[in-house]
Homo-oligomer: A and B are copies of this chain.
C-alpha cells in the first residue's frame, strides 16, 4: 500500500467513524425525544391510559421508531423512572454543595425538589408511575429510599452538631419529612396541579424544623 493510499484509507476510516458517531448521536437524540414524549404522556394521563401510539404521536414519530428504542410500554415507563432517579440528585446537588448548615440544606433540598415537581415532566411522570407501579409489569427501583437516605444523612449531621432539638432520631425525622413532602406534592397535584407546592413545602419545613437556622 502506498502512503497516498494509506492516507486515503485513513480519511475514509475517519469519515466512516465520524458517520457512525453522528448516527449514534442522532439515535441518542431520538431516544431522548421519545423519552421526553413518554414522560409528558405518563405525567398527564398515567400508565394505564397511555399507548405506545400516543407516545409516537407526541414525539412526532412513527410507532416503528419508538419500538426501535423501546420494546414496549413497560420499557418506556422503566426508562422514565430511571431518568427520574438520575435527575433527582442533580436537582438537589446545589443545595448540598453550598456548605449550608445541615438543617438549612434539608430545607433547600426540599425547596428545589418542590420546584422540580412543579416544572419537570420527568419528575412528574416518575412520581405518577411510582404510584401506578402495580400496573407496570417491569422492575422499578424501590421508591423513596434514596431520597430518605439523603435527608437522613443531613439530619444525622445536624444531630451530631446538636442542632436537632427533639426526642426523635434522625431517621424518624427523615421519615416524617419525606412522608410530608410526598403527601404535600400529591395533594397539591390533585387539588391544583401543584400550583401551591412551594408554599406547602415551606410550611412543612416551618412545622417540622422550626429552629433550622
Contact = CB atoms under 8 A, between A and B. Distances in A.
A101 interface: no
Interface in A35-51: 45-46, 48-49
Contact of A208 (B181, B187, B208): B208
Interface stretch (A61-69, A73-81, A170-178): A170-178
A115 interface: no
Nearest to A207: B176
A40 B80 CA distance: 31
A203 B148 CA distance: 15
A54 interface: no
Given A46-B135, A183-B182, A183-B184, A176 B144 contact: no
Given A173-B207, A206-B167, A207-B166, A200 B179 contact: yes
A186 B131 contact: yes
A206 B179 CA distance: 14
A92 interface: no
Contacts of A173: 203, 207
B168 A175 contact: no
A142 to B, nearest CB: 8
A90 interface: no
B135 A166 contact: no
6 contacts: A130-B190, A168-B206, A175-B200, A176-B204, A179-B180, A180-B204
Given A46-B135, A143-B187, 18 more contacts: A131-B131, A144-B190, A144-B191, A166-B206, A166-B207, A166-B210, A168-B206, A168-B207, A175-B200, A176-B180, A176-B203, A176-B204, A178-B187, A179-B180, A179-B184, A180-B204, A182-B186, A183-B183
